[in-house]
């Protein structure tokens, strides 16, 4: 359970950094508390998308992983971020990613920040 909470907090922090850095990733809300709540829900959605959908996409694009020496990972992560944005929109959450290239930059930022936060907040599996 602790591992799940740590990963959700790391995802929420990484998403917050992406919202802060990129103008085309938006998070709106009337108060800071609502924004934090939305970020936590979006982090949960992002985690679910990465657990359920990402492995399937990786298997289907395996030849591209080999051909591009893993660089296709940025595209897959961007697609997972766009899917998260779409699901958040369907749930009437105020989180939106505008465009593919914004999603690529956002996915890169989220990956780097999540990695850094994982170093600071290690989980039980380490």
Residue 2 has pLDDT above 70, yes or no: no
pLDDT of residue 126: 47
Residue 28 DSSP symbol: -
- The answer to whether the predicted template modeling score (pTM) of the entire model surpasses 0.75 is yes
Write out pLDDT tens, residues 44-87.
999 999 899 999 998 999 999 899 988 899 999 999 999 999 99
Residue 125, domain member (yes or no):
no
Overall average pLDDT of the 31-51 stretch:
92
Q: What is the mean pLDDT of the chain?
A: 89
Residue 69, domain member (yes or no):
yes
Residue 126, domain member (yes or no):
no
pLDDT of residue 123: 60
Domain span including residue 97: 2-120
Tell me how many domains the chain contains: 1
pLDDT of residue 23: 94
- Sorted by sequence, the CB contacts under 8 Å of residue 108 that are 6+ apart come out as 74, 77
User: Which of 48, 45, 47, 74 is CA-nearest to residue 61?
Assistant: 74
Q: Is 77 helix (H, G, I), strand (E, B) or coil?
A: helix
pLDDT of residue 3: 77
């Amino acid at each position: 359970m602790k591992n799940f909470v740590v990963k959700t907090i790391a995802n929420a922090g990484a998403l917050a950094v992406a919202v802060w850095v990129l103008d085309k990733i938006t998070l709106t809300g009337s108060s800071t508390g609502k924004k934090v709540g939305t970020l936590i829900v979006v982090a949960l959605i992002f985690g679910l998308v990465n657990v359920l959908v990402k492995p399937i996409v990786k298997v289907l694009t395996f030849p591209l992983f080999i051909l591009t020496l893993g660089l296709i990972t940025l595209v897959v992560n961007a697609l997972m971020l766009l899917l998260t944005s779409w699901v958040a929109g369907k749930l009437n959450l105020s989180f939106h990613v505008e465009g593919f290239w914004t999603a690529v930059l956002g996915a890169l930022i989220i990956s780097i920040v999540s990695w850094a936060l994982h170093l600071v907040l290690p989980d039980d599996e380490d």
